Structure 1
Amino acid sequence: MPFDAATPTCAPRWRSLQADEGDCRLSLTLEGRPLISLRLVPGETLEAHLQQICPERPEQALWAACYWLLSRDPACQRLAWHLPQPIPQAVASGLLLPDQAPGRYLCERTLFWQLPQPWLGESLAGVYPQQMQLSNGKRHPRRAPKPRGEVYRRFDARLGAWVSLRTLEIGQDLERFNRWQNNPRVEQFWQEGGSLEQHREYLTKLEQDPHTLTLIGCFDDEPFAYFEAYWAKEDRIAPFYPADDYDRGIHMLVGEETHRGPHKVASWLSALVHYLFLDDPRTQRVVAEPRADNGKMIGYMHDQCFHCEKEFDFPHKRAALMILGRERFFERCKLV
């Protein structure tokens, strides 16, 4: 299973984490070097007793073991660690929580998946300071400068593939975007078919819009989808529900036929939502407004813990307001 052998602030590398495991033990090695060894005691909460750990990078070794144990069992909500010595960095980051019993620490799934590293990699710039402003009659926080390049990467154990997100580059992606938008299946819902120049104008407008981020979704670095992530407070959706300052919204388009299907949607939709919640910890909801008659997509969103708040009318379509809260996502979505 891939794991980052570099510092915690680097994006995951194309390297391999190997396991030797049984019902009551787990040993991890990274490129042939011992990383961590545990004695496991199954129960209502899996108890992990530390036996050996790499002294050069103890927090990463703990992270790797938590990742392995939580990924192999999506139903596992908590790990209990028994450590002979505290590891302050792991406690400071939220990876481990001190328990009442001396030497016992808890790793909570809902906290683990909110740690921004290594999923965000070098795109992480910290929380942008808040300053309220008015634009087009709407009061909202000033938005951070848009990132460029890859913003998210995670290995999906279910698919055995990397799922990643990068920003759209017009020079690199225009022809691909044009082909996708002119696909009759896509045009039925997006209604954005047109020429290369029309799409260049469309993407240039979004590139200059501080409230929208255009993204390309990739499996194993192969582009397959286009996403728009927007700040809901200054979007057209805002009048239709009580939008919070840091709510994010999404528009989604899968362009490559080979990457359609519910198993692929489960991977990329969870990755997209995961990225948006990690991008700013103040984001408490992700929303979407698919056409109300797009039953297949609405069903996929229900599978990823969205709920339909209501239906409403845009000028161009009858829409379903789909909402997913931060707490619900990290408690119920089966990230692996």
Structure 2
Amino acid sequence: MPNLNDLTALTLPSGRRLVADETENRLSLSLDGQSLIQLSLSRDPELKVQPEEGSARPDDAALWAAGYWLFARDATCQRLTWQLDETPTEALLSGLLIPTQTAGQYRCERTLFWQLPQPWLTQASSRYPQQMVISGGKRHPLRPIKPQGEVYRRFDARLGMWISLRTVDIELDLARFNRWQNSARVASFWQEEGSLEQHREYLSKLEADPHTVTLIGCFDDQPFAYYEAYWAKEDRIAPFYDAGDYDRGIHMLVGEENHRGPHKVASWLSALVHYLFLDDPRTQRVVAEPRADNAKMIGYMQGQRFHCEKEFDFPHKRAALMALGRERFFDRCELS
């Protein structure tokens, strides 16, 4: 995996390239070869940043880029303290910066930074208006129309790879989904072996289900995993815990053997959860219900700050209720 101490460039989801010239006391960033911001750095006791004397007033894009670079560079960095001569109005309105009690001083909190939806969401995030409805005997908010195409993209600086999520295209993905489900490793947990037509019917049913979004996970645009993201309030899991109106649940399947392992799980699982929390800011919890004897998956999830609330019995399996709250995810967030 890449050494972040040697990091000199980051590519944004737009394809633009952020390049840094960094020393202990100075950071100069350029975007696509154009100078973006020059900063003086002070690291005692926390990281303090301010534009170099005589440099242009930084705009919001420059402030964001500096935050991205410094947070991606160091997963232990929890906040930046900015010293600015002019009030950064737009950055304050968005939550990129927050004021302090010292005039001209502002903080950029890692916890808030990673909750900003752009540029990670490749489709606009909006808070769909709430109207309570009843379907299948369950009362829940009316859900928005499901997305199509790519929904999330981020460069994982630790892996040196793009992690992206897109919705399932049945014609494009049916053969690989069939291959994945018929592998002995996947079948032992999913128990969904079958023919192409059986799997077409399976995916078509989910495509028509307003409470579930089916997703393909990609590393460097190569599909490797399948996920189902569902609204927990309408799901079979709802009777087993106090489901919130905007809780999301996940089912997960890594199909390609070369993308297994804890470092890959850390990348895709954090990306999947990140996407769901960004997709609707009212989502306060992400849950999952792996088989209770799937110790490896449960261990991976605990490594990403999920905790096991309890075990319970579905008709077809003994399950572990794994849960991760928004605050816990973004607190000490290790995204890079």
User: TM bucket by the smaller chain?
Assistant: over 0.9
Distance 1:251 1:257 in 2: 18
Output aligned runs, 1:241-260, within 5 Å.
241-260=241-260
State the secondary structure of the residue aligned to 1:65: helix
What's the counterpart of residue 25 of structure 1? 26
Whether the aligned pair in 2 keeps the contact of 1:80 and 1:107 (CA below 8 Å) is yes
Question: Is there any run of 5+ residues in structure 1 with no aligned partner, and where?
Answer: 5-11
Distance 1:88 1:74 in 2: 27
Please state how far the C-alpha of 1:73 moved relative to its aligned partner.
1.1
What's the counterpart of residue 290 of structure 2? 290
What's the counterpart of residue 310 of structure 2? 310
| Range with bigger deviation, 226-235 or 72-81 | 72-81
State the secondary structure of the residue aligned to 1:253: strand
User: Does 2:47 align with 1:46?
Assistant: yes
What's the counterpart of residue 101 of structure 1? 102
Whether the aligned pair in 1 keeps the contact of 2:110 and 2:332 (CA below 8 Å) is no
Question: TM-score normalised to the size of structure 2?
Answer: 0.95
Closer/same/farther in 2, CA of residues 320 and 90 from structure 1, 3 Å limit = same
Q: Which residue identity does 2:65 align to in structure 1?
A: A
Whether the aligned pair in 2 keeps the contact of 1:270 and 1:333 (CA below 8 Å) is no
Distance 1:43 1:109 in 2: 18
Whether the aligned pair in 1 keeps the contact of 2:29 and 2:35 (CA below 8 Å) is yes
Distance 2:332 2:103 in 1: 30
Output aligned runs, 1:182-221, within 5 Å.
182-221=182-221
Whether the aligned pair in 2 keeps the contact of 1:50 and 1:84 (CA below 8 Å) is no
State the secondary structure of the residue aligned to 1:275: helix
What's the counterpart of residue 234 of structure 2? 234
| Range with bigger deviation, 194-203 or 94-103 | 94-103
Distance 2:289 2:269 in 1: 14
Distance 1:96 1:165 in 2: 28
State the secondary structure of the residue aligned to 1:332: coil
Question: Is there any run of 5+ residues in structure 2 with no aligned partner, and where?
Answer: 1-8
Q: Which residue identity does 2:82 align to in structure 1?
A: W
- 1:178-219 C-alpha deviation (Å, 9 max, x unpaired): 000001000000000100000000000000000000000000
The higher relative CO (CA closer than 8 Å, separation ≥ 6) is in 2
Whether the aligned pair in 1 keeps the contact of 2:285 and 2:325 (CA below 8 Å) is yes
Please state how far the C-alpha of 1:2 moved relative to its aligned partner.
3.4
State the secondary structure of the residue aligned to 1:242: coil
What's the counterpart of residue 163 of structure 2? 163
- 1:65-91 C-alpha deviation (Å, 9 max, x unpaired): 001111111111111001111221111
Closer/same/farther in 2, CA of residues 218 and 54 from structure 1, 3 Å limit = farther
Whether the aligned pair in 2 keeps the contact of 1:248 and 1:285 (CA below 8 Å) is yes
Distance 2:308 2:333 in 1: 17
Identity, % of aligned positions: 70
State the secondary structure of the residue aligned to 2:331: helix
Closer/same/farther in 2, CA of residues 240 and 267 from structure 1, 3 Å limit = same
Whether the aligned pair in 1 keeps the contact of 2:125 and 2:280 (CA below 8 Å) is no
Please state how far the C-alpha of 1:99 moved relative to its aligned partner.
1.1
User: Does 2:119 align with 1:118?
Assistant: yes
User: Does 2:82 align with 1:74?
Assistant: no
Q: Which residue identity does 1:229 align to in structure 2?
A: A
Closer/same/farther in 2, CA of residues 53 and 161 from structure 1, 3 Å limit = farther
Runs of 4+ displaced beyond 4 Å:
52-55
Whether the aligned pair in 1 keeps the contact of 2:217 and 2:227 (CA below 8 Å) is yes
Query: What is the alpha-carbon root mean square deviation over aligned residues?
Result: 1.2
Q: Which residue identity does 1:153 align to in structure 2?
A: R
Distance 1:216 1:44 in 2: 43
State the secondary structure of the residue aligned to 1:311: strand
Please state how far the C-alpha of 1:270 moved relative to its aligned partner.
0.1
| Range with bigger deviation, 262-271 or 25-34 | 25-34
State the secondary structure of the residue aligned to 2:68: helix
What's the counterpart of residue 148 of structure 2? 148
Distance 2:280 2:118 in 1: 13
What's the counterpart of residue 7 of structure 1? none
State the secondary structure of the residue aligned to 2:10: coil
What's the counterpart of residue 179 of structure 1? 179
Distance 2:99 2:332 in 1: 24
What's the counterpart of residue 10 of structure 2? 2
Please state how far the C-alpha of 1:332 moved relative to its aligned partner.
3.1
Distance 1:54 1:150 in 2: 36
Please state how far the C-alpha of 1:130 moved relative to its aligned partner.
0.2
Q: Which residue identity does 1:207 align to in structure 2?
A: E
Please state how far the C-alpha of 1:221 moved relative to its aligned partner.
0.4
Closer/same/farther in 2, CA of residues 232 and 116 from structure 1, 3 Å limit = same
Q: Which residue identity does 1:281 align to in structure 2?
A: P
Q: Which residue identity does 2:72 align to in structure 1?
A: S
Closer/same/farther in 2, CA of residues 325 and 168 from structure 1, 3 Å limit = same
| Range with bigger deviation, 44-53 or 231-240 | 44-53
Q: Which residue identity does 2:10 align to in structure 1?
A: P
What's the counterpart of residue 323 of structure 1? 323
Q: Which residue identity does 2:170 align to in structure 1?
A: I
Closer/same/farther in 2, CA of residues 189 and 53 from structure 1, 3 Å limit = farther
Please state how far the C-alpha of 1:333 moved relative to its aligned partner.
3.4
